[in-house]
Amino acid sequence: MQQTKTKVLIIGAGTGGYVAAIRCGQLGLETTLVDASDGLGGTCLNVGCIPSKAIIHAASKFETVAKAAAGGTLGITASKPAIDLAQTTAWKDGIVRKLNAGVAGLLKRARVKVINGWATFSDAKTCTVKTAEGDIVITAEHVILATGSEPVELPFLPFGGDVISSTEALSLSAVPNKLVVVGGGYIGLELGIAFRKLGAEVAIVEMADRLLPLYDKALTDPVAKWLETHGVELHLGAKAGSFEKGQLNITTRDGAALKLKADKVLVTVGRRPRTQGWGLENMGVAMAGPFVKIDDRCATSMKNVWAVGDLTGEPMLAHKGSAQGEIVAEIIAGHDKRFDPVTIAAVCFTEPEIVSAGLGPLDVEGRDDVITAVFPLMALGRALAIEAGDDGGFVRVLASKSDHRLLGLQAVGQHVSELSNSFAQMLEMGAVLEDVAGTIHVHPTMGEAFHEASLRALGHAIHI
């Protein structure tokens, strides 16, 4: 059995782990990264953010051609399209492989030692890694836990066969004729909408009374309208049951029993931190419910043991994990850092897209010290020119009445995900409405809606 020591040991090569490893390497810290998956980059790169957006992009392309074949769009006509999902999946896999190789190259340049294997901790600073070449015992001065998360499995709908998680949904070789999605959160809606564009009949079963319950109704109404217009069957306030003989049993809001035919049942009821099977219980770290408890330095209760990403709690977003990983590396190198963001923007890549940063209407309900202003995308030239202005989309600004400080920013509409970084930047910098109003926004772009919403909050919008 091989034994080795390292300054920094990182478990998990997702967006939190590999970023931490690269930054550690840049700072001259001897670093070992252990990961058990087939490809570097974790859930996001391999079976999450990147492949799902590739499939969503392909679905949108297919929908455009289908519209052209069904009578024409923008003066463009085409023959009826067909899709070979196996080829689409292969194209998606090629993107993933390219990014895997890119991460591997970055880690090599940073002189990070990468070990492919499963790590199990016997105490806070010692783990045994099972590899194809044999076991390796690693002792570290610092440990960064970045094990990520995994799909939640329902006991009455275990994964397997035609009951699939988002991971399997991204690797299907053919479009299912009938797809039932259990869970009306962002993952289920993103994939359900994509498969509807690809021609599948889609039904969505959601326990809550409306879709995307974490967002306010004004943001989700355009998505609900798209689903209705495109024939997606919605069962809100409903509970899913067992799947038998090609039919999913559900109980409706009124208590009636229904059977929904399905070739595939996609279960997307959330994700949970990956805390089992690698010896977390032997490390002596405090927990915060299902998550590892950390402070504003991402430090756990055990000295020199750190945790980043989904393992540490909501929001379970890749960009949060990356930011935490970078900060932990710098702290280990002796820098004075804290993880204290003003906001972490979130995006739903639905149809249309939703972006939210900072406070929303539900957070300031009942307060009379907040200005709220909305600018509809139907009044924006760029939106109309790319068919993004007729779906009820808008940009919304929330600001303090007393000093005009921005408190929250939201948008719904096609391509509004591209506004997310501008939203986060303005909130992080403590901008006021006058800062946005005084910034010359490029014409014609979607970002002009942010400018106009801010002008409207100040009482002098130009284009509405």
Q: What is the DSSP string of 307-352?
A: E-GGGG-SS--HHHHHHHHHHHHHHHTT-------S---EEE-SSS
CA 110 vs. chain centroid, Å, equals 27
Respond yes or no: is residue 443 known to be catalytic. Answer: yes
Closest CA to 206 of 183, 188, 227: 183
CA 434 to each of CA 189, 218, 439, 457: distance values in angstroms, whole numbers, following the listed order:
36, 26, 8, 10
The rounded distance, in Å, linking the Cα atoms of 395 and 414 is: 11
Say if residues 461 and 452 touch (Cβ distance below 8 Å).
Answer: yes
Active-site annotation holder among 142, 335, 441, 443: 443
User: Shortest CA distance to 14 belongs to which of 271, 361, 251?
Assistant: 271
Distance in Å from the first CA to the final CA of the chain: 72
- Tell me the sheet residues that pair with 9: 32, 143
Peptide bond into 352 cis (omega under 30): yes
Q: Which residues pair with 123 in a beta bridge?
A: 126
**C-beta atoms surrounding 302 within 10 Å:** 16
Cβ-count burial 439-458 (b if 16+ within 10 Å, e if not)? eebeeebbbbbbbbbbbbbb
Cα gap 240→232, rounded to integer Å: 17
Phi and psi at 322, nearest 5°, equal -65, -45
Closest by alpha carbon to 243, among 358, 306, 325, 158? 158
Among residues 257, 221, 224, which one has the least CA distance to residue 242? 257
Catalytic residues: 443
